[in-house]
A and B are shown apart, each in its own frame.
With several copies, the nearest count.
Chain A
Amino acid sequence: MTAPALLSVRGVVKRFPGVTALGGVDFDVRAGEVHCLLGQNGAGKSTLIKVLSGAHRPDEGEIRWRGEVVSFSGPTAAMRSGVAAIYQELDLVAGLSVADNVFLGHELSTAGFTHRSEARRRTRALLDRLGHPDISPDRDVGRLSVAHQQIVSMARALSLDGQLLIMDEPSAVLDPDEVRVLFGIIRELTAQGVAVVYISHRLAEIREIGDRVTVLKDGRTVATGLDAREVRTPELIGMMTGRVLENVFPQRKPVDPAAPEVLCVRGLTDGDRFAEVDLTVHAGEVVGLAGLVGSGRSEILETIYGARKSAGGTVEVDGRRLRRGSVGAAVRAGMGLCPEERKSQGLLLDQAVYRNITVSSLSAFASFGFLDDRAERDRARGLTEALDVRPAGVERVVRGLSGGNQQKVVLARWLLRECRVLLLDEPTRGVDVGARSEIYELVRELADSGVAVVIVSSEVEEVLGLADRVLVVREGRVVHEGPADEIDESRVLDLVMEGHAA
C-alpha cells in the first residue's frame, strides 16, 4: 500500500491539569485501511481519538487531513470534513430515542423542523445493516443494554458517512456474533475506501481485522505502521508494557471436593428475564457464566446480589438464607458485585480513587463512626499498586482515569472487602492485556484463599480460561453445566447460539 496518507498526525501533545495525556504522537492513516491503535490503559488512545475528532484541542502538533493542515474548531467541523467517531464512553443521550440519537447534531430537517419518519426509516436501515432488527428506532436509548447502546453509537457513526471512522473499543461490550457482523461492515467500508481507526485490547481482533498497527505507551508513539498480521504478540506486548508476559491464564488448582458450599442459589426466578436458575459455588471455586448479550446473566447476578427483587427461589451464603431484594443483607453476608456498567453503576466519578475503593468497607476504617482517612488511603494505595492503576495517586478523581483504570478501581473495592462471594460482571471489559493477567491472577488468588467467585464474560476464552466450572445461559435458562476443561470454545458457542439465527 503506497497510497498517500488520508490523515497524518505529527507530534501531537495534549495536557490535562497534572497529566500529560499525549506527549508526542505520530502516525498516518491511509484510505481504505484498518489502522489499529494499541496501548495499555491510560496510554492515551481515547484522548488521541478526541483530538482527531475535534472534541479536544491539541496543545501542540500538526494534523493533516488529505494533505492539508487542519485545526478542527469542534466536533462539527470534524464531522463536516468526514471524520466520524464512536467514543469509548458511549456518549448517547438517555431520554432521547434511538433515531434521535443517531441523528443528533446532524438532524434531518427543513427550516428546523425534524423529519421524524425519515430519520426513523434510515435508522431502521442502519440497525438492520448492523444485524440488529430487534432494536426499535423509537426506543429510549436509556433503556437499552450497553451492548445495544454500542450498536446505536455505531449506527450514529455510519450515518455520518465519513471518510475516516474512528472506533474506540467497539467490541468491548459485544459478543462474538456481533463482533463478526461489525467486522463485516468494516470490510465493506474499507472496500469503499473509508479508513478505519480501530482500538481494542483484544489482540486476536487486531490480527483478524487490522492492516497496520500503531502502539502508544505513556502518550507517545513507540511504534507505527507495523503489519498487523506479521508482528509477533510478545513483541507487541513488550512494546505496550515494557515487559514480557507469558501464560495469560493462571494455573488452576483442583477444587477440593470437600470444600463447603459458600453460595447456593435454588430455583431463582425473576418472572421476566430468567427462570429456575440453580447455582452452587464452593469455597475456592470460580464459576463462569457464558451466554449471549441479553441472555440474562447480568440480571441473574444482580438478583443474587439483592439489587433486583426475585419472584421466586432462594439465595444462601454459608448456609444462611438472604433476605430478598436487599443489597445490604448480601453485603453483610460477604457478597460483592462488580457491576457491568462501571460508569453508571459502579463509580462515584467525581470522587477520589480511594473513596471509591473504601466505600463498601467504611466501617472497617471507623471507630464509633469516625473514619481513619489515612488508613483508608494506605489500603487503597496498596491495592492500586497491586492492580497497576495509572496514573498512580489515590487522591485523583476517578473521572480523569482512563476506562480500563476505572474498571480496576471497582475491582479494588471488592478486593479490599475480602468477600466470601464475589460476583464479577465483565470484570476485564476495557482492561489491557497486562492488567488483564493481573486481574486473572488476583481472581485466582482470591479463589485459592477460599472465596467463591462467579464471573460473567462475553469472552468465551476468558470464561474457559479462568473458571473451574462453566454454566451456559440462553434466554434466561441454564442450558449446560460442567467443568471448564471438558468443553471447548466452539462447543460453548454452539450452546450459546442454539436456535439463534446466526
Chain B
Amino acid sequence: MSEDTAAAVAKEKAPAVKESGLSALLGSAAGRNTGLVVALVLLCLGGVVTAGDRFADVDNLLTILRLAAVIGVVSVGMTFVITGGGIDLSVGAIVALSSVWATTLATQGLANDIHWIVIVLTALLVGGACGLVNGVLIAYGKVVAFIATLASLAAARGLAEIISNRKTQIVNVPGFTAFFDASVLGVPVLVVIFAVVAAGGWVLLNRTTFGRRTFAVGGNPEAARLAGIDVRRHTVMLYSLLGLCCGLAAVMLIARTTTGSATHGGLYELDAIAAVVIGGTLLTGGRGTIAGTVFGVLIFTTLSNVFTLNNLSISAQAVAKGAIIVVAVLLQQRLARRSGA
C-alpha cells in the first residue's frame, strides 16, 4: 500500500505543488483574512495620508518589518501552542532568560574563542529547555497551562535577574553583530529570519502530520487520543517549539539591542497572544492560522509606527489603539462572514 501511495504521490506531486504554490497560498490566505488585509491597508493608507513619504519610504517599511520580526517569531510559535489548545504567559520571561544566558561573560568568552554561533545555540538551548519544562508541567504534571506558565514567568525572570545581577549585558562579539546587522539583497537579516520562520511555520502547520495533529489536539483532545495521537507528547513538543522560538527571538533581540537583559521581552505574552488572536486563531484551540498571525503582528507594529510618525501623545495612542483594534476585528468578522468563510 505504501508503494501505491508513493507512486500516486509522485504522479500527483507536480500539479499539487502548482496548486499549492505561492499564488494559491496568498490567495487563500488573503481570502480568509480579508478583514485583516483591509485593516492593514487602511492603516497604511492612514500612514501615507498623514505622513506621506516618511511612511511610504523603503527604509520605514524595513523599520516596521524589523520591529515586527522579534515579536513575530514569538507569535508564530504562540500560534502553534494556542492552536494546540494551550497558552503560554512565560514567553517574555523566556526571551529575557535566553538573552541573559547567551550574553554572560562566560558565553561571550566561548563565543569569542570558538564561534559566535555559541551565543545562538545557548539561547536556543535555554529557550527550548524552558519550553520543555512548561510542556512537561502541563502535559504530564497536569498543571493548567495558564498557571504553569505564569509560574515559569516568575521563575524565569527571577533567574534572569540572578544570572545578570540585574545588569544590562553588552555584547562584544564582532562576528555575531556583523552577521545579524547585515542585509540580504537589501533585506535585513532579522527580517529574513522572520520570513523564514513564518514560512516554515506555515508549512509545518498546514502541510505536515505535526500540524494536522496540532489541530486535532487543540480541537478535540479526546478524539485525538482515540485516533492514536500521543496528546501529551505532542503538547510537550508544542511548548518546546515555542520555547525554541523564544530562544531565537532572544538572539534577534540581542542583535537588535546589542544587549542581553532581564528586562527584555516585557509583556511579550500579551503582544504575542493579541497578534495570534486578532489573526483569527481560536483561543480555545483547534483553529489557527500563521498568515493571520503575521497580519496581526504587522497591524500592531504598523500602528505604533504610524502613531510615532504623527508625533501622537502616548495617551492618545492608547485610546486610538483600543478603537482601532475593535474596528479591525469587526471588519474582519463582517468581511469573513460575507465571503462565507
- Interface residue ranges, A against B (CB under 8 Å): 17-18, 53, 55, 74-76, 79, 85, 87, 91-96, 100, 104-110, 112-118, 121, 161, 305, 307, 327-328, 330-332, 337, 339, 344-351, 355, 358-360, 362-367, 369-375, 378-379, 413, 418
In the assembled complex, the Cα of A349 lies from the Cα of B287 at a distance in Å of: 11
The answer to whether B5 touches A375 (Cβ under 8 A) is: yes
Neighbour of A55 across the interface among B13, B203, B225, CB < 8 A = B225
Please give, as numbers and ranges, the residues of chain A lying within 8 Å of B155 by CB-CB distance. none
| Minimum CB–CB distance for B312 against chain A, Å | 39
Asked whether, in the complex, the Cβ of A112 is within 8 Å of the Cβ of B208, the reply is yes
What 10 additional pairs, Cβ within 8 angstroms, besides A104-B227, A115-B12, A345-B222? Answer: A55-B226, A91-B223, A91-B226, A94-B219, A118-B8, A344-B220, A344-B222, A371-B207, A372-B12, A373-B20
Q: Which residue of chain B lies nearest to A335 when distances are taken between CB atoms in the complex?
A: B228
Chain B residues, CB < 8 A from A116: 16, 20, 207
User: What CA separation (Å) do A344 and B220 show in the bound complex?
Assistant: 7
CB of A119, distance to nearest CB on chain B (Å): 10
User: Is B230 an interface residue, CB under 8 A from the partner?
Assistant: yes
Measured in the bound complex, the distance between the Cα atoms of B137 and A70 in whole Å is 32
A93 close to B207 (CB less than 8 A): no
Are A346 and B223 in contact, CB atoms less than 8 angstroms apart? Answer: yes
Q: Which B residues lie within 8 Å of A328 (CB)?
A: 228, 230
- B186 close to A (CB within 8 Å): no
CB distance from A331 to the nearest CB of B (A): 3
Task: Give CA–CA (A366, B13) in the complex, Å.
Answer: 11
Give the dominant DSSP class at B's interface.
helix
Q: Show 9 residue pairs from A and B whose CB-CB distance is below 8 angstroms, ordered by the A residue.
A: A94-B219, A96-B215, A106-B227, A113-B207, A115-B12, A305-B226, A331-B228, A359-B224, A371-B208
* Bound Cα distance from A375 to B213, whole angstroms: 17
With a CB–CB cut-off of 8 A, which chain B residues contact A104? 212-213, 216, 223-224, 227, 229
| Residues of the B chain whose Cβ atoms lie less than 8 Å from the Cβ of A113 | 207-209
Report B286 CB to chain A, min CB distance, Å.
4
Say which residue of A95, A327, A372 sits within 8 Å of B286 (CB atoms): A95
In the complex, the answer to whether A413 meets B209 with C-beta atoms within 8 Å is no
Query: CA A364 – CA B209 in complex, angstroms?
Result: 10
B178 at the interface (CB under 8 A from A): no
Q: A95-B215, A348-B286 are in contact. Are A372 and B13 (CB under 8 A)?
A: yes
The answer to the question of B15 belonging to the interface, with a C-beta cut-off of 8 Å to chain A, is: yes
Q: Residues of B contacting A359 with CB < 8 Å?
A: 212-213, 216, 224, 227, 229
Expressed in whole angstroms, the Cα–Cα distance for A107 and B211 within the complex equals 11
Instruction: Decide if B219 touches A327 in the complex (CB within 8 Å).
Output: no
Q: Is the CB of A93 within 8 A of B19?
A: no
Interface mask (B10-39 → A, CB under 8 Å = 1, otherwise 0): 001101100110000000000000000000
Report if A106-B228 is in contact (Cβ < 8 Å); known contacts: A344-B220, A372-B13, A374-B15: yes
For A332, the closest partner residue in chain B by CB is B228
Q: Quick check: B215 and A370 within 8 Å, CB to CB?
A: no
Interface size range of chain B in the complex: 35 or more
Q: Cβ of B15: which chain A residues have Cβ within 8 Å of it? A: 117, 374
B143 proximal to A (CB < 8 A): no
| Residues of chain B with a CB closer than 8 A to A96's CB | 212, 215-216, 219
With A and B bound together, what is the CA distance between A360 and B223 in angstroms?
10
Residue among A95, A107, A337 making CB contact with B209, cutoff 8 Å: A107
Asked if A327 and B225 make an inter-chain contact with CB atoms under 8 angstroms apart, the answer reads yes
> Contact between B223 and A350 (Cβ–Cβ < 8 Å)?
no
Question: In the assembled complex, which residues on chain B have CB atoms less than 8 Å from the CB atom of A115?
Answer: 5, 8-9, 12
B106 contacts the other chain (Cβ, under 8 Å)? no
- Tell me whether A362 and B213 are in contact in the complex, defined as CB-CB below 8 angstroms, given that A17-B340, A371-B208, A374-B15 are known contacts: yes
Inter-chain CA distance A117–B230, complex, in Å, is 25
10 tightest Cβ-Cβ pairs between the two chains A and B: A331-B228, A76-B228, A105-B227, A91-B223, A105-B228, A374-B16, A348-B219, A93-B219, A362-B209, A75-B228
Are B212 and A355 interface neighbours, CB within 8 A? yes
Assess A378 versus B12: contact at CB under 8 Å? Given A327-B225, A327-B228, A347-B220: yes
Is the Cβ of A348 less than 8 Å from the Cβ of B212?
no
Residues of A within 8 A of B203 (CB): 370
B209–A369 touching, CB < 8 Å:
yes
User: Distance in Å from the Cβ of A52 to the closest Cβ of chain B?
Assistant: 12
On chain B, the residues within 8 Å of A108 by CB distance are 5, 9
Chain A residues closer than 8 Å to B222, beta-carbon distance: 91, 344-345
